Amino acid sequence: LAPVMSGDMDKPLISHRLMDSDGSLAEAPTEAPKVGILGSGDFARSLAMRLVASGFSVVVGSRNPKRTAGLFPSTVQVTFQAEAVSSPEIVFVAVFREHYPSLCVLSDQLAGKILVDVSNPTEQEHLQHRQSNAEYLASLFPTCTVVKAFNVISAWSLQAGPRDGNRQVPICSNQREAKRTVSELVQAMGFSPVDMGSLVSAREVEAMPLRLLPGWKVPALLALGLFVCFYAYNFVRDVLHPYLHEGKNTFYRLPVSVVNMTLSCVAYVLLSLVYLPGVLAAALQLQRGTKYFRFPDWLDHWLQHRKQIGLMSFFCAALHALYSFCLPLRRSHRYDLLNLAVKQVLANKSPLWVEEDVWRLEIYLSMGVLALGTLSLLAVTSLPSIANSLNWREFSFVQSTLGFLALVLSTLHTLTCGWASAFKESSYKFYLPPTFTLTLLVPCVVILARGLFVLPCLSRRLAKIRRGWEKAGATRFPLCEDHTVAQKTSHV
């Protein structure tokens, strides 16, 4: 293993070479490198456990070592702060920012050492202080080298190991050698170091844990906005119109039936919005005749949020499937069946059996199940653990080809469900068209555009553009023969 101590770079990390019994050189364990920790909180305990499991000798500095010694593993030495920082070259500072000044009494013992700041400010502190915690610590200890690291790793991830959490550890410092030393320590603990530059980047690194699902804000607001719009539209058509025109009280449909119809609309539209930006990007490249122009910012952000939009679509589709399963279990549905049977008996009519409606319902359910199954495959392959096991062609096939197939199946599911009501005058309540006709607009545009891009005249041109070709001969890639002839001509 690579060395840990920046001041003793010639010494190995954990082992040294000895002569084996047969005369050959062999590795033999030596004294484990010592690492210090200032602080005895939850994170300090988890950090000590991870360091011990990684082969390090850990000494913890506490203001009350007798009280906190029982909280640490028996292999960890818990002592006073001054004694804990005397021998280690790397010291983790696991205390809050307001307690940094109390460590100034250790300035002489900490001189020349590497201080690893693992603290995180609260959201209010982050806005209140212009200086990051790491920069503030560096100003208090100018004779030390401060490295910002491990602030994005939770105590649970340290205890359970990197397999159950994020493996990346952002690191920043003004001294390159200190960053390399801490990076080797991070790797020895089973994590992946990420160089974030100088200590000025510490403010950005400290802001990472304060963000609440930053990539999900726009997709969640989009899904919520679509849900509110479609729910209001379905309420006006299916609840308010019967109440005003026919005197029927159908408000009992609001919790299940109207929600179920709204979820299906939201899932369908969100799925089409996953593939619409790709269509717009291809159209822009065809119109510009080059790929070397940036997309507009709104389109660029849209392309970056496709994964989250797709997962929101899957979530709504799964809820739609559960609500659909619960529809026949409602008491109101059983009352409707009973009233229909009584009316048929009183009218002396045999039970109704419409062959077309039976086949339409069977096909409608089948297409819905197939669409949900394909969408589930897309959601599973979006997980990092699954995506990393696929090569690019496999991942592209699942996300692009099977995703487009899911959109086509969803379109067939929607058409077979509401095609019969599209041509009935009674379906246009308050002169508003059925809900499914509104949801078909964007998906049909995407399907039609994808079909046009399959045509050879467009697909070949788009493939050339994406391989570097530009319109009007702005960029030309000469063949090897042309380059050789040009060289000979220049010599002549």
Cα–Cα distance measured from residue 305 to residue 382, given in angstroms and rounded to the nearest whole number? 13
Per-residue pLDDT band for 13 (boundaries 50, 70, 90) equals very low
Backbone angles phi, psi at 149, to 5 degrees: -165, 160
Cα–Cα distance measured from residue 77 to residue 89, given in angstroms and rounded to the nearest whole number? 16
Residue 237 clears pLDDT 50, i.e. is over it = yes
Residue 415 amino acid letter: L
Q: Where are the beta strands (DSSP E) in 235-319?
A: none
Burial 362-389 (b: 16+ CB within 10 A, else e): eebeebbebbbebbebbbebbeeeeeee
Residue 298 clears pLDDT 50, i.e. is over it = yes
**H or E element in which residue 27 lies:** strand 25-29
Q: Where are the beta strands (DSSP E) in 149-271?
A: 168-173, 192-195
- Region of poorest pLDDT, from 170-174, 225-229, 339-343, 354-358: 339-343
3-state secondary structure of 467: coil
Give percent above pLDDT 70 in the chain: 85
- Region of poorest pLDDT, from 220-229, 420-429, 478-487: 478-487
Answer yes or no: are the C-beta atoms of 465 and 289 closer than 8 Å. yes
Note the pLDDT tens digit of each residue in 360-374.
889 989 999 999 999
Answer yes or no: are the C-beta atoms of 115 and 182 closer than 8 Å. no
3-state secondary structure of 91: strand
Residue 221 clears pLDDT 80, i.e. is over it = yes
- Region of poorest pLDDT, from 178-192, 413-427, 430-444: 413-427
Q: What is the DSSP letter of 164?
A: G
Per-residue pLDDT band for 356 (boundaries 50, 70, 90) equals confident
Contacts 24+ apart (CB under 8 A), 94-100: 94/37, 94/38, 94/39, 94/41, 94/43, 94/44, 94/47, 94/118, 94/119, 95/38, 95/39, 95/41, 95/119, 97/121, 97/125, 97/129, 97/133, 97/136, 100/133, 100/136, 100/137, 100/140
Number of H helices, E strands in the chain: 23, 10
Residue 483 clears pLDDT 70, i.e. is over it = no
pLDDT in the model for residue 468: 87
Most confident of 41-45, 157-161, 162-166, 268-272: 268-272
Residue 491 clears pLDDT 60, i.e. is over it = no
Q: What is the DSSP letter of 432?
A: B
Region 337-357: mean pLDDT is 68
Superfamily of domain 34-210: NAD(P)-binding Rossmann-like Domain (3.40.50.720)
3-state secondary structure of 117: strand
Per-residue pLDDT band for 413 (boundaries 50, 70, 90) equals very high
Note the pLDDT tens digit of each residue in 119-163.
999 888 888 888 999 999 999 999 999 999 999 998 888 887 766
Residue 426 clears pLDDT 90, i.e. is over it = no
Cα–Cα distance measured from residue 87 to residue 66, given in angstroms and rounded to the nearest whole number? 21
Residue 23 clears pLDDT 60, i.e. is over it = no
336 versus 165: the higher-pLDDT residue is 336
- CA distances (Å), origin 130, targets 101, 124, 170, 306, 319: 18, 12, 20, 35, 45
Answer positive or negative: Cα dihedral of 207, 209, 210, 215.
positive
Note the pLDDT tens digit of each residue in 46-91.
999 999 999 999 999 999 999 998 899 999 999 999 999 999 999 9
> Boundaries of CATH 3.40.50.720 in the chain?
34-210
Region 292-303: mean pLDDT is 92
- CA distances (Å), origin 378, targets 302, 357, 362: 18, 32, 25
Tell which residue, 465, 402, 470, 414, has the closest CA to residue 443: 414
Note the pLDDT tens digit of each residue in 372-401.
999 999 999 988 778 888 898 999 999 999
Answer positive or negative: Cα dihedral of 433, 437, 439, 443.
negative
pLDDT in the model for residue 421: 77
Cα–Cα distance measured from residue 379 to residue 375, given in angstroms and rounded to the nearest whole number? 6
pLDDT in the model for residue 210: 87
Burial 308-344 (b: 16+ CB within 10 A, else e): bbbbbbbbbbbbbbebbeeeeeeeeeeeeeeeeeeee
